[in-house]
Structure 1
C-alpha cells in the first residue's frame, strides 16, 4: 500500500517534507519506520514470514512487526498501530521499550533502494501464538524461536538466508536487549 511518509536526511533528521513511499523507494530517500520485536519470558522471539507478494524481502523471516511511519505520525503510535494491524495484538505505550534507532539501506533492484531509520522497540508477548491474527497481505506465517536457536541460525551461512539481511550488529543489539529482560 502506498502512503505519504516523512523525508529524513542521511543522519535521520526530519526535513519537514513528505513523499509517497513508492517514490521514496524508487529514489532511495531516507524515511522512518518502526520495528517491534516481541519476546516471551521463557526466551522465545516472535518472528514473522513476510507475505510472498511484498516488494521488499518477500517470503523471508523478519522482525515480529515492521512498518512505515505515516507522515506526521508519532513513532510510538505508529508502532502500536502496526502491531494491531499485522498480528491483531493490542498493546499500549507502556508495553513498548525503545532500544534505539538504526540506519538501514538495501538495494533490492535498480528501481527499489530502501533507505530507512528503524525506530526499534521490544515488547513482551503475553498471549499464546494461537491468539494472534495475521494480516494476510503482510504476513505469511508467525513462529516462536528461542533466542539461542535464532542466533545460531543467523550465524549460519546457509540458514541465515531465510532471514531479512540486516547487519549482524543490529541483530546482536536486539538479542542482547532481549536477554537483559529475561
Structure 2
C-alpha cells in the first residue's frame, strides 16, 4: 500500500499537489508530520529505538511517536493513528496536548530529503513500559528516560529534534 501525502508551500499550507511518501522525500517537497512526547507520571519520557527496517534514522533512538500526516488527514487524527500503529495504545484514553509546530529541513541522502513541518504534542499518562505492545516493524525497543537526561543526550548528540526538545522543556517548565 502506498501512502500519499499533501505537499505544502513555504508557509505550511496545502498546495493541492499530492505525492507518494517516496516521491515527497526523493523530490524534497514540504509536508507535515506529527511528534508525540509521552511521559509517565515520574517525568520519564518514553523513547523508542527504531528498527533497522525503516528508511530514515534506522537503529536510532527517537521520541515516543513520529509519523507523517496522510493526504486529507487532520494532524490530531494522524497522531492518534500513529499512536495505535507504533505503540498499540488507544489515544482516546490519553490527555494529549498540542504544544507547537516547527519546520525541519534535513538531507539524509540523495533519495531522502526531509523537509517538513512537525506538529508537536505532549502527554503525561500513568502506564507501565512492559504493558506497551509496540509494532516490531517500526520499533525495535522502548525505554523510559528521565526527561532531563534526555535533553542532555539530545544536546550532546545534536539529534535532529534538538530545538523542539529545548522548547518543549521550556514550555513544560523543565529548563
Q: Which secondary structure does the structure 2 equivalent of 1:28 belong to?
A: coil
TM-score by length of 1: 0.89
Counterpart position of 1:170 = 164
Q: Retained in 2: the 8 A contact 1:84–1:90?
A: yes
Q: Which runs of 4+ in 1 moved over 3 A?
A: 177-180
Counterpart position of 2:109 = 109
User: Structure 2: how far apart are the matches of 1:175 and 1:77?
Assistant: 25
Which runs of no fewer than 5 residues in structure 2 stay unpaired? none
User: Structure 2: how far apart are the matches of 1:93 and 1:107?
Assistant: 36
TM-score by length of 2: 0.92
Q: RMSD of the TM alignment (CA)?
A: 1.7
> Shift of residue 169 of structure 1?
2.1
Which runs of no fewer than 5 residues in structure 1 stay unpaired? none
1:54-107 Cα shifts (integer Å, max 9, x gaps): 111111111100011111011111101100110011112972100111101111
> Shift of residue 154 of structure 1?
2.1
Matched positions, count: 174
> Shift of residue 35 of structure 1?
0.5
Q: What are the equivalent positions in structure 2 for 1:51-130 lying under 5 Å apart?
A: 51-92=51-92, 95-130=95-130
